[in-house]
Amino acid sequence: MKLNEQEMVRVSKELFTDGLPLASEVYTRLPSGQFILVGRKDDKSNLSALHLMKDDQSELYVSSEDYSKVVKHNVSLIEKTLKNESVSPLLKMNLLKGVAESAMSDIVKKEVFVGSYERCKQVVSFVQESVAQLKNFEKFIDVFSKMPGDQVSHSLATSIVSLMICERMDITMKSTIEKIVMGAFLHDIGLKEIPRELLEKPRLQWTEEELHYYESHTLRGVEILRDIKEIPSDVLSIVLEHHENALGLGYPRRIRDIKINPLARIVAVAECFVELIYDSNKENIRRTPEEAISYIENVMGQPFNKPAFLALKNVIHTTHMQKKLRAVG
Ligand SMILES: [Fe+2]
């Protein structure tokens, strides 16, 4: 059977832990563009066999059909490993990197942005670099390990969207970008204290009390991170203010644009966009990136910081045009 590019999803090598069974067939791509099988489902993973080319350039692929199976398998693996106290923090960090890169493949598949695989790598290394600098590294990993598995995807997607907004807004200072990426990554850490049943329930069915309880995740997030001394105050502001909006209709403090931390303004719009394309509100509506933009503008009345929203709209528009051109050509 000849496999073609459209049917394959590129995945991170870190997805495959030596000695563990493969969740699906794994392929590599030859310079000629042909895909060849390098690992069968249920076989024990053998990294040296998978890295056929013996260099970091070799790319691994799974079929589109198997893709979500592979990611789910890995997220459950990472959840177990992160909670295991006998595993070293460094190994945990490596596993985290693998899951992070794979979670990002989700957004690559959605074709939100052109070249998003490279973006994904960039975001993951930003997060990794910032985390590695923390003296309280173990404490961070401990906090992170309690994050629900599917939250990892959401957090990373928010980081990558925030990064794209920064680029379009010409925000280039590395320290600022690092804070935004880290804040976007950690913004929902407070959700780990909200019962899973509530998070699974469609938002339209929440009682007022449940809504207030959910909204407390912003403050809870700050409480959790305060213990980690080196977390910059801008990152704490992002966690606290990621549900505020320019019109003063957000929470927890209903502050207007001028009072919202400038970095939080960017993460707030990125967060909302990701919620819409991932159906985080459990409405059973998965929007395309273009539909999400139109929803923010026409249904929500564009309540976010204008420059940040326009930057995102521009990115999505450019990608949409490139997709169209590709389809025609
Ligand atoms: Fe949130």
- pLDDT for position 297: 96
Rounded to an integer, what distance in angstroms lies between the CA atom of residue 111 and that of residue 127?
22
Q: Which two tokens stand for residue 147?
A: 């994050």
CA of 241 to the centre of ligand 1 (A): 9
Structure tokens at 210: 């449940």
Going from the Cα of 243 to the center of ligand 1, the distance in angstroms, rounded, reads 6
C-alpha dist (Å) from residue 236 to 85, 109, 222: 27, 31, 6
* Centre of ligand 1 from the C-alpha of residue 85, in Å: 28
Q: 221 C-alpha to center of ligand 1: Å?
A: 9
Distance 15 CA to ligand 1 centre (A): 27
Report residue 172 as tokens.
């280039």
CA 124 to CA 101: how far, in whole Å?
A: 7
Long-range contacts of 56-60 (CB under 8 A, 24+ apart): 58/28, 59/10, 59/28, 59/29, 60/10, 60/11, 60/12, 60/13, 60/15, 60/16, 60/26, 60/27, 60/28
Q: Output the pLDDT for position 227.
A: 79
Q: How far is ligand 1, taken at its centre, from the CA of residue 324, in Å? A: 33
Cα of 262 vs centre of ligand 1, distance in Å, is 17
DSSP 114-168: TTHHHHHHHHHHHHHHHHHH-TTHHHHHHHHHTS-HHHHHHHHHHHHHHHHHHHH
Q: Is 57 helix (H, G, I), strand (E, B) or coil?
A: coil
Q: Can you give the pLDDT at residue 63? A: 83
One-letter amino acid at 157 equals A
- Dist. CA 304–CA 275, nearest whole Å: 14
| C-alpha distances out from residue 193 to 4, 217, 275, Å | 44, 7, 19
Contacts of 62 (CB under 8 A, 6+ apart): 8, 9, 11, 24, 25, 26, 27, 70
Residue 129: CB partners within 8 Å, gap ≥ 6? 178
Domains in the chain, CATH or no CATH each: 1-68 (no CATH), 84-328 (1.10.3210.10)
Ligand 1 centroid from CA 218, angstroms: 6
Ligand 1 mean position, distance from CA 116 (Å) = 23
Contact predicate 273/296, CB 8 Å:
yes
What was the pLDDT predicted at 53? Answer: 47
Residue 1: Cβ-neighbour burial (10 angstroms; 0-12, 13-18, 19+): exposed
Per-residue pLDDT at 45:
72
Cβ pair 9, 62 in contact under 8 A: yes
Q: Measured in angstroms, how far is the CA atom of residue 188 from the centroid of ligand 1?
A: 5
User: Ligand 1 centre from 256 Cα, in Å?
Assistant: 18
Answer positive or negative: Cα dihedral of 78, 26, 129, 236: negative
Q: Report how far ligand 1's centroid is from the alpha carbon of 6 (Å).
A: 34
Q: Report, as ranges of residue numbers, the positions in the chain whose pLDDT lies below 70.
A: 1-2, 5-6, 12-15, 17-19, 46-58, 68, 71-72, 74-83, 91-120, 131-150, 281, 323-324, 326-329
Distance CA 62, CA 24 (A): 7
